[in-house]
Structure 1
Amino acid sequence: MEATRNKEICYEELKTLMGKSQNLLVVDVRSNEEVAKGHIPGSIHIPVDTVEAEFSLSPEEFKAKYGVTKPPPDAPELVFHCMMGRRGGIATDKARELGYVNARNFVGGYKTWAEKEGK
Structure 2
Amino acid sequence: MGGVLLIDVRNRTELEATGKLPWSYNLPLPEIYEAVQLDENEFMEKYGFPKPLPEDKNVVLTCRSGRRIRKAGKLLEPLGYCNIRLYFGSFLEWKARGGSIFHVPKSL
Task: Give the TM bin, normalised by the shorter chain.
Answer: 0.7 to 0.9
CA distance in 2, matches of 1:22, 1:118: 23
Q: Is 2:71 the counterpart of 1:110? A: no
After superposition, the CA RMSD in angstroms is: 1.7
Q: Post-superposition shift, 1:43? A: 1.1
- Runs of 5+ in structure 2 lacking a partner? 102-108
TM-score normalised by length of structure 2: 0.82
Q: Post-superposition shift, 1:59? A: 0.8
Partner of 2:46: 65
Q: Post-superposition shift, 1:118? A: 6.1
Partner of 1:32: 12
1:49 to 30, 48, 62: 30
- Runs of 5+ in structure 1 lacking a partner? 1-20
- Measured against aligned partners, the alpha-carbon deviations of 1:4-50 in whole angstroms (never above 9, x if no partner) come to xxxxxxxxxxxxxxxxx933211111122321121011111111111
Deviating 4+ runs (over 4 angstroms): none
Partner of 2:2: 22
1:96 to 63, 77, 85: 77
Q: Post-superposition shift, 1:64? A: 1.4
TM-score normalised by length of structure 1: 0.75
1:85 to 39, 60, 66: 66
How many residue pairs get aligned? The number is 99
